[in-house]
Structure 1
Amino acid sequence: MRAAVVTNTEFRIEDLPTPTPGPGQVLINVSRCGICGSDLHARTHADEMAELAAATGYDRFMRSDQSVVLGHEFSGEIVDYGPGCRKRWRTGTPVVALPIVRHDGQPNLTGLSTAAPGAYAEQVVVQESMTMPVPNGLSAEHAALTEPMAVAWHAVRMGRVGKGQIAFVIGCGPIGLAVISMLKAAGVRTVVASDFSPRRRELATTCGADIVVDPAAESPWDAAPKRGRINGVTDILSLGFDTMERLRRVPNLPWWYVFRLAHTLGAGPAGPVIFECVGVPGIIDQILTAAPPRSRIVVVGVCMEPDRFHPAMAINKELELRFALGYDPGEFRDALHLLADGKVNPAPLITGTVGLDGIENAFTALGSPEQHAKILIDPTSPAITP
């Protein structure tokens, strides 16, 4: 089969042997594969990513001097089964799969490991237990976005955004656009998106953002509707005075139980939920400085460099800082069905398609935010420019 292999940041197209599915594995023909920001990072920062992965307990991440077939956002069709499979679906069934396989009992990340070649190829091996049929006639193009949409869905769930809360999305690259789409699918009524790029702001609007801001001209925090009375620490202190004065007017009321109940129920003043989707040094500190008190900040953007922020700022505002990575199989399935049921439209994210011979050009094009968001690979296409 033909595949795009990267070694020391350089791509080349090779004819590789047809993959053989192992126990519990399935061979699929690749229909489409998305180019992920993680692929861009892995091409140029593989060793740094491998060191980070090893520090967290995963020691099989690709190294820059290894030859690896990238690609973990894919859709395809069933070709063959390995030994021990239940053979749930007929040959030719459209499917997607979580990009992770087992070899010798050890998990390997598909497209980011020498042991698990990815879908920048005509065929890829997946785990049967992690494979799901594509429902409702969902197109191969849209099905291939299940994986990045699952990442966004996981981030939104981690954010625990109430429908009436304001959600801020800082950075409208592919993951920011996916987060916007999933916030609207979750019923969040007010989504404020911020990006310097006119093209990305345009795409954010198409994905459903209610307010779109150029941070060079306007603060996203000022553009949001003013709700409630909590805009600073002074407001929280004043609310404490007002609450105590009201409670003390009620004779024999054990007012401290009211506070205990509020803590148990998660009631009380709350700020917005903010999704950091940029992933460059300094952004977290900027958000901590500007965010209203009691905000919840979900970091989705992957910053590959050391960063600094002021913990005292977060402490004074009682900000909650969370970091999101990946998804679980249930969230992957949810994302697939949100796409298939028409509750999320991924079309605005797809800005180009290339064949295997166009991958180098696609990576170059993705270096600029002004044209492309998500470029798909069609292994059967002769296209060399997205």
Structure 2
Amino acid sequence: MKAVVCHDTKLEVTDVPAPEPGRGHLLLDVHHCGICGSDLHARVHADDMADAAAASGYDGFMRAGDSVVFGHEFCGEVVDRGPRTSKEIKTGTRVVAMPILRTGGAVHTTGLSVHAPGAYAEQVVVQAALAMPVPNGLPSDKAALTEPMAVGLHAVRRGQVKKGQVAVVIGCGPIGLAVISLLKASGVRTVIASDFSPGRRALAAQCGADVVVNPATDSPYDAADARGKYVTAAGLFDLAVDSMTKLRAVPLLPWWTAMETAQKLGALPEGPVIFECVGVPGIIDQVIASAPISSRVVVVGVCMGSDAIRPAIAINKEIDLRFVLGYLPTEFREALHLMADGKVDPTPLMTGTVGLAGVEAAFSALGDPEKHAKILVDPRSDTTAI
């Protein structure tokens, strides 16, 4: 079959053996597969990513010298199954699947390991237990975005954003746009989006961002401050003095009782939840230095280089710093159904489609944020230009 193989940073359409499903596997004819930022990173930083994965306990990630078929955001049609595999999902069913495959006695990441070839190909093997039928006639190109939308949903859940809190999204690439979409689908009333690119700011607005900021001229944190958040320690100190003065003036009620009650009711000041979706060195420290007091920072962007932060600033502001990876099976399913039910529209992310022969050009095109967010691969298409 035809597939796009990456070897030593080079992408080439070539003939590879057709995959054979093993026990517990389904074989899919690929309809669409998204090009992910992880694919762009893996093409040039495979060894760094493999080292990071190995330090985390997984040693099957691709190396630069491996020949790997990328593609882990996909939708396809079931055409075969391996021996002793459940027939719960019938042949002819369109499915999406979490990109994890048990093969050769181990579990590997589909599309990022030589042991689990991905969906920049005519066919791909998936784990039957992780496959989910596409509901409500959702088109295959939109269904292929289940994986990045699940990443966005998981980030939102990890952020524990309340509907009345302000959420700030730094970086409006595909994952930032997914986070914006899922914040709004979760009922968060105020979402501030920040990106240097006019094109991506326009996409952020289409995804539902309430305030869109160019950080070259305006601060997203000033926008948060305008909504009652305290950017500086001085603002919080003023609030503390004013509050204590008022509480001590209340007769018959000890001030500490009133404050403890307010704390239990969530009435004390809290900063916004900030989603860092850029993933380049220096951004986390920049966010910490600029963020309002008591902010929660959720790191979604994948930084491949070494980085440094100034802990004293985070300590002085009581910044809550969290990192996220992937999603739960329930979140993967929920992301799929949110799209199928019309509650999340991935259309703004979808800026182009190519066939296998157009993948290399698509990788280059994705370097221009003014033109593209998410390019999809359709193995049945002859399109080569974006």
8 Å CA contact 1:229, 1:235 repeated in 2: no
Could you tell me how far apart the structure 1 residues matched to 2:383 and 2:170 are? 33
Q: 1:58 to 1:265 in 2, by over 3 A?
A: farther
Could you tell me how far apart the structure 1 residues matched to 2:71 and 2:59 are? 19
Q: 1:224 to 1:93 in 2, by over 3 A?
A: same
Could you tell me how far apart the structure 1 residues matched to 2:132 and 2:299 are? 28
Aligned residue in 2 for 1:139: 139
The residue type equivalent to 1:70 in the other structure is F
Q: Tell me, what secondary structure is at the counterpart of 1:68? A: strand
Could you tell me how far apart the structure 2 residues matched to 1:104 and 1:246 are? 68
- Which structure 2 segments of 5+ residues have no match? none
Matches within 5 A, 1:188-227: 188-224=188-224, 226-227=226-227
- Which structure 1 segments of 5+ residues have no match? none
The residue type equivalent to 1:111 in the other structure is G
Tell me, yes or no, if structure 1 residue 162 matches structure 2 residue 162. yes
Tell me, yes or no, if structure 1 residue 289 matches structure 2 residue 297. no
Could you tell me how far apart the structure 2 residues matched to 1:30 and 1:266 are? 49
8 Å CA contact 2:224, 2:272 repeated in 1: no
Could you tell me how far apart the structure 2 residues matched to 1:228 and 1:8 are? 51
Q: Tell me, what secondary structure is at the counterpart of 1:351? A: strand
Could you tell me how far apart the structure 2 residues matched to 1:348 and 1:336 are? 16
Q: Tell me, what secondary structure is at the counterpart of 2:363? A: helix
Q: Tell me, what secondary structure is at the counterpart of 1:208? A: coil
| Percent identity of equivalent pairs | 63
Aligned residue in 2 for 1:336: 336
The residue type equivalent to 2:271 in the other structure is G
Q: Tell me, what secondary structure is at the counterpart of 1:79? A: strand
Pairs aligned (count): 386
Could you tell me how far apart the structure 1 residues matched to 2:254 and 2:129 are? 55
The residue type equivalent to 2:344 in the other structure is V
The residue type equivalent to 2:233 in the other structure is V
Aligned residue in 2 for 1:58: 58
Deviation at 1:176, TM superposition (A): 0.8
Aligned residue in 2 for 1:148: 148
Could you tell me how far apart the structure 2 residues matched to 1:37 and 1:20 are? 28
Matches within 5 A, 1:98-177: 98-177=98-177
Matches within 5 A, 1:283-322: 283-322=283-322
Could you tell me how far apart the structure 1 residues matched to 2:223 and 2:137 are? 40
Matches within 5 A, 1:19-98: 19-98=19-98
Aligned residue in 2 for 1:377: 377
The residue type equivalent to 1:87 in the other structure is K
Could you tell me how far apart the structure 2 residues matched to 1:50 and 1:371 are? 30
Could you tell me how far apart the structure 2 residues matched to 1:303 and 1:257 are? 45
Q: Deviations over 1:227-261 (max 9, x none)?
A: 33633212323333344444445667565565556
- The answer to which of 127-136 and 200-209 deviates more is 200-209
Coordinate RMSD, CA, aligned = 1.7
The residue type equivalent to 1:50 in the other structure is A
Could you tell me how far apart the structure 1 residues matched to 2:108 and 2:322 are? 26
The residue type equivalent to 2:234 in the other structure is T
Q: 1:57 to 1:260 in 2, by over 3 A?
A: farther
The residue type equivalent to 1:99 in the other structure is P
The residue type equivalent to 1:331 in the other structure is E
Q: Tell me, what secondary structure is at the counterpart of 1:321? A: strand
